[in-house]
């Protein structure tokens, strides 16, 4: 990807951003040349978005730029007045947000919104701006570019809307585009298309870009330079290839290394399966089948991963197993006894033996209860006075590597990763045989998610629990699951041992999913696109 | 200045002071009032002096004493009405939200029917038929008010019961009372408390309006609404008497509203922090 880069368009020196007494960004400096793409990477709270917004002379309420300079095209953005900055934003420096759905006004057509700023600022005729927007739709590979803009935001898919947002940003022909996690909310298969469109657009227009993401593999596809941030400080800054292949700092090495673990094999399990689903079908109010004729088996100590895009029926399957959504057909047998369809007909012991861990620990824990109440309730509920609840809660906290002093805290005083540990402790308090994990790491930062996975793995080794792991992240599946079920539109298209399912000959959909997971190589996207042709 | 760990704004401080003074007046009326509430102590419309601080009323009773007893009646009655309406509204609202199905439909449509009728007219009809005893007044107004509490309680419970921690409790096999009292109610408390303040002022104004129209508190008991009614004719004669109870009603309403605003802002900011 050797391209000639122009002169420096944005020169940020010793940028310092504070919120009250807290320093959010410490002395960050970088230069952006015309046509260059800078990737900002780090966990949440690293200051990525704050820097991205600051490049437009903007800070969130309560924050302020208190040091350094940001020279755009010869002028310091900090010395501009509000009118100058407003002129800068949208026309010279544009912004693409994570959620396009939240950024479009549902009451206007896409074309009107894409054309709004250039029409107001550039003095071009409405027709000229429209023509420009339509040519952008074409460049972004949007379907029927002539009429795409006549639709309303809810009439197009998430990936299309995200591309329409890129068209909106590019329509005023800005010098710099700030991409703030633009593909994080998309499915892996959609992410590939959107990434390819973005890259094509940036290159063709020779636009500079700041690309913010927490996913190193994504930024590897698009960035010339990568800056790794942590706690508002620069950890490492260099050419993309150097960061990926030869990271100098320990933190960067961990980020790069976390993706590269080997397969996991479990010893052959006993004959009687722990959970067996045969031809299970369920639907919401009988309208359309969200889970159609699914059969699978889980043995003790197994980790079965259920994978698929959003809307494929993964979470519904979990709800059917738990009895929250009564199944219409099929049988579920748990440890030799059939499970009734609904929750209420199940015995407390059946309920106890299957537990669940949720995606978002913020809503999975009652904010008004202390950890003692949250973790202790299953203990006293299922085991009554036989056990010393407090001693058991302390034991579970130790098992989760949480300080014992946290026992009287409420979830609000814990970090995201700690809350997820509490969710796991609550599930373990019931001493289950099977835990259903619904996207347990997707709301967490990469390294925190890795810790949670390692913890789950350790618990499995110590306690022999089986996991049903619902996820859209195939990288995780390859590492932790010995069995896998691939779901597409409510049906299971492939299933069995991970080694077998993920080895040729592949089901076409499995192949698509696997090839859509970004790899930590700069030329991965090119290969995928080449293969697609 | 801080109260319960939250910064006290100037309107909130004013509001709390007004509410405190009124509550002290209401509780301490028999001790603080210089004269009994219904005793004739002089000539009608006697002017204010050192003995009769605000003058005497249409029958020669001490206005200041009646104002204190009126606080007792107006505030106490509104508080009883509001508490009863909340008990009814929360129980019905939570039941509708959790039971769903036909229970929800029945309760919600019944409430819609009640809301379709103008409250004052409805109260008029009921009170004219059943008479204006204080217990009848309390129950009637509480039922009328509870439909509004029902709607808030139901929507709060619908939102909270969709959250995963409630699902966890259901999956554990918890019974309904536990889910309501331990999982849902504590998380609905903040908006319910703010609504309590708001509904209290409405009940308060409503009692005053009914009394003014002659359907509320009956003589010789003092309450601010009926005092305005008794004194209204002398407003043309430059006697300030009607302004005292009217001012008290206005002041109390504004005071409670200031406090409610403050509580709502605390609730909003604590939610902002959590997000």
Per-residue pLDDT at B251: 92
Q: Closest CB to B172: pick one of A351, A360, A412.
A: A351
B24 cis-preceded (ω within 30 degrees of 0): no
pLDDT digits (tens, 9 = 90+) for A463-521: 889 999 998 888 788 778 888 999 888 888 888 888 888 887 788 888 888 888 887 77
Q: Supply the DSSP string of A175-190, one letter for each residue.
A: SEEEEESTTTTS-HHH
User: Could you tell me the domains of chain A?
Assistant: 8-257 (3.40.50.300), 275-365+432-502 (3.40.50.300)
Contact check, Cβ <8 Å, A430/B170: no
Residue A365 contacts B where some CB pair is shorter than 8 Å: yes
Q: Supply the DSSP string of B143-210, one letter for each residue.
A: HHHHHHHHHHHHHHHHHHHTSHHHHHHHHHT--HHHIIIIIIHHHHHHHHHHHHHHHHHHHHHHHHHH
pLDDT, greater one: A1 or A461:
A461
Name the band, by pLDDT with cuts 50, 70 and 90, for residue A270: low
Contacts of B165 in chain A (CB under 8 A): 363-366
ipTM exceeding 0.95? no
Task: Label residues B181-197 b or e (16+ Cβ within 10 Å = b).
Answer: ebbbbebbebbbebbbb
Give the DSSP H/E element, type plus range, for residue B85.
helix B63-99
Residue B174 contacts A where some CB pair is shorter than 8 Å: yes
* Other C-beta atoms lying within 10 Å of the C-beta of residue A122: 15
Distance CA A106, CA A112 (A): 11
pLDDT digits (tens, 9 = 90+) for A356-386: 999 888 889 998 899 999 999 999 999 887 7
Per-residue pLDDT at B272: 41
Contacts of B182 in chain A (CB under 8 A): 366, 369
Distance CA B51, CA A71 (A): 78
Distance CA B265, CA B261 (A): 6
Question: Which of A323, A366, A419 is the best residue to mutate to test the B interface, defined by the most B CB atoms within 10 Å of its own CB?
Answer: A366
Residues 6+ apart with CB under 8 A from A420: A357, A361, A440, A444, A448, A452
Is residue A177 a contact partner of residue A36, using CB atoms and an 8 Å limit?
no
Is residue B213 a contact partner of residue B230, using CB atoms and an 8 Å limit?
no
Domain B2-274, architecture per CATH: Orthogonal Bundle (1.10)
pLDDT digits (tens, 9 = 90+) for A112-136: 898 888 888 777 888 888 998 998 8
Domain ranges for chain B, please list them. Answer: 2-274
Residue B171 contacts A where some CB pair is shorter than 8 Å: yes
Distance CA A445, CA A447 (A): 6
Q: Is B141 exposed, middle or buried (0-12, 13-18, 19+ CB in 10 A)?
A: buried
Residue of A nearest to B188 (CA): A368
Give the gap in angstroms from C-alpha A377 to the nearest C-alpha of chain B. Answer: 9
> Could you list the pLDDT tens digit for every one of the 275 residues in chain B?
666 667 788 888 999 999 999 989 888 888 888 888 777 777 877 777 777 778 888 787 888 888 888 888 888 899 999 999 999 999 999 989 988 889 999 999 999 998 898 888 888 888 888 887 888 889 999 999 999 999 999 999 999 988 889 999 989 988 888 888 889 998 888 889 888 988 998 998 888 888 888 887 777 778 888 888 888 888 888 788 888 889 999 999 999 989 888 887 776 655 444 32
Contacts of A369 in chain B (CB under 8 A): 182, 186
Contact check, Cβ <8 Å, A343/B170: yes
pLDDT digits (tens, 9 = 90+) for A209-256: 999 988 888 888 888 899 998 888 888 898 988 888 888 888 888 887
Distance CA A321, CA A181 (A): 34
Question: Which of B172, B183, B188 is the best residue to mutate to test the A interface, defined by the most A CB atoms within 10 Å of its own CB?
Answer: B172
């Amino acid at each position: 990807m050797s391209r000639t880069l122009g002169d420096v368009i944005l020169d940020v020196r010793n940028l310092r951003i504070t919120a009250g007494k807290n320093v959010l960004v410490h002395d960050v400096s970088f230069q952006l040349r015309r046509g260059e793409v800078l990737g900002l990477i780090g966990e949440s709270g690293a200051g990525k978005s704050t820097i991205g917004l600051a490049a437009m002379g903007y800070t969130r309420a309560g924050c302020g730029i208190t040091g350094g300079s940001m020279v755009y095209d010869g002028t310091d953005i900090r010395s501009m007045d509000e009118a100058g900055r407003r002129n800068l934003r949208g026309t010279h420096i544009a912004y693409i947000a994570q959620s396009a759905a939240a950024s479009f006004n549902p009451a206007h057509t896409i074309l009107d919104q894409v054309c709004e700023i250039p029409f107001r600022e550039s003095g071009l005729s409405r027709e000229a701006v429209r023509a420009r927007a339509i040519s952008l739709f074409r460049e972004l590979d949007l379907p029927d570019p002539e009429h795409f803009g006549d639709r309303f935001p809810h009439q197009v898919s998430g990936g299309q809307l995200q591309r329409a947002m890129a068209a909106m940003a590019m329509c005023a022909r800005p010098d710099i585009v700030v991409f703030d996690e633009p593909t994080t909310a998309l499915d892996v298969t959609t992410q590939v298309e959107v990434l390819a469109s973005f890259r094509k657009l940036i290159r063709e227009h020779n636009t500079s870009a700041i690309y913010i993401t927490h996913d190193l593999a994504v930024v590897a596809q698009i960035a010339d330079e990568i800056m790794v941030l942590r706690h508002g400080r620069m950890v490492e800054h260099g050419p993309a290839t150097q960061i990926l292949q030869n990271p100098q700092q320990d933190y960067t090495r961990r980020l790069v290394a976390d993706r590269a673990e080997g397969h996991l094999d479990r010893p052959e399990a006993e004959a009687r399966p722990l959970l067996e689903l045969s031809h299970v079908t369920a639907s919401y109010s009988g309208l359309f089948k969200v889970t159609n004729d699914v059969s699978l088996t889980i043995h003790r100590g197994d980790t079965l991963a259920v994978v698929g895009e959003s809307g494929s029926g993964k979470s519904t399957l979990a709800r059917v197993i738990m009895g929250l959504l009564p199944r219409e057909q099929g049988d579920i047998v748990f440890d030799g006894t059939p499970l009734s369809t609904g929750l209420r007909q199940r015995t407390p012991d059946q309920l106890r033996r299957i537990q669940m861990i949720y995606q978002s620990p913020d809503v999975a824990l009652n904010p008004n209860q202390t950890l003692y109440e949250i973790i202790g309730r299953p203990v006293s509920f299922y085991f009554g006075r036989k056990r010393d609840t407090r001693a058991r809660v302390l034991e579970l906290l130790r098992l989760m590597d949480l300080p014992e002093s946290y026992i009287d805290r409420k979830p609000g005083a814990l970090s995201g990763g700690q809350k997820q540990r509490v969710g796991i402790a609550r599930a373990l308090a019931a001493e289950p045989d099977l835990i259903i994990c619904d996207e347990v790491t997707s709301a967490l930062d990469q390294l925190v998610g890795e810790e949670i996975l390692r913890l789950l793995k350790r618990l499995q080794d110590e306690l022999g629990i089986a996991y049903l792991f619902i996820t859209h992240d195939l990288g995780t599946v390859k590492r932790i699951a010995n069995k896998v079920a691939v779901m597409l539109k409510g049906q299971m298209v492939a299933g069995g041992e991970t080694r077998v399912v993920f080895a040729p000959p592949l089901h076409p959909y499995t192949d698509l999913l696997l090839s859509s997971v970004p790899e930590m190589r700069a030329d991965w996207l090119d290969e995928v696109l080449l293969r697609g042709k | 200045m801080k109260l319960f760990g939250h910064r006290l704004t100037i309107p909130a401080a004013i509001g709390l002071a007004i509410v405190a003074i009124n509550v002290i007046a209401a509780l301490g009326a028999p001790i603080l009032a210089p004269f009994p509430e219904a005793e004739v102590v002089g000539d009608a419309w006697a002017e204010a002096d050192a003995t009769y601080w605000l003058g005497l009323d249409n029958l020669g009773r001490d206005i200041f004493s009646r104002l204190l007893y009126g606080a007792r009646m107006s505030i106490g009655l509104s508080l009883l009405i509001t508490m009863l309406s909340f008990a009814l509204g929360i129980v019905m609202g939570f039941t509708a939200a959790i039971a769903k199905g036909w229970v929800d439909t029945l309760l919600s449509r019944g409430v819609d029917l009640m809301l379709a009728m103008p409250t004052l007219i409805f109260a008029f009809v009921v009170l004219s038929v059943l008479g204006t005893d204080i217990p009848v007044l309390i129950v009637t107004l509480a039922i009328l008010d509870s439909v509004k509490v029902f709607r808030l309680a139901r929507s709060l419970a619908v939102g909270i019961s969709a959250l995963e921690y409630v699902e966890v409790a259901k999956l554990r096999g918890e019974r309904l009372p536990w889910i309501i009292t331990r999982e849902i109610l504590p998380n609905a408390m903040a908006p319910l408390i703010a609504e309590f303040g708001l509904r209290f002022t409405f009940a308060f104004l409503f009692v005053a309006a009914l009394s003014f129209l002659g359907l509320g508190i009956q003589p010789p008991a003092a309450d601010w609404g009926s005092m305005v009614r008794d004194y209204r004719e002398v407003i043309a004669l430059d006697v300030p008497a009607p302004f005292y109870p009217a001012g008290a009603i206005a002041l109390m309403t504004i005071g409670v509203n200031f406090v409610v605003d403050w509580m709502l802002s605390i609730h909003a900011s604590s939610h902002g922090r959590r997000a």
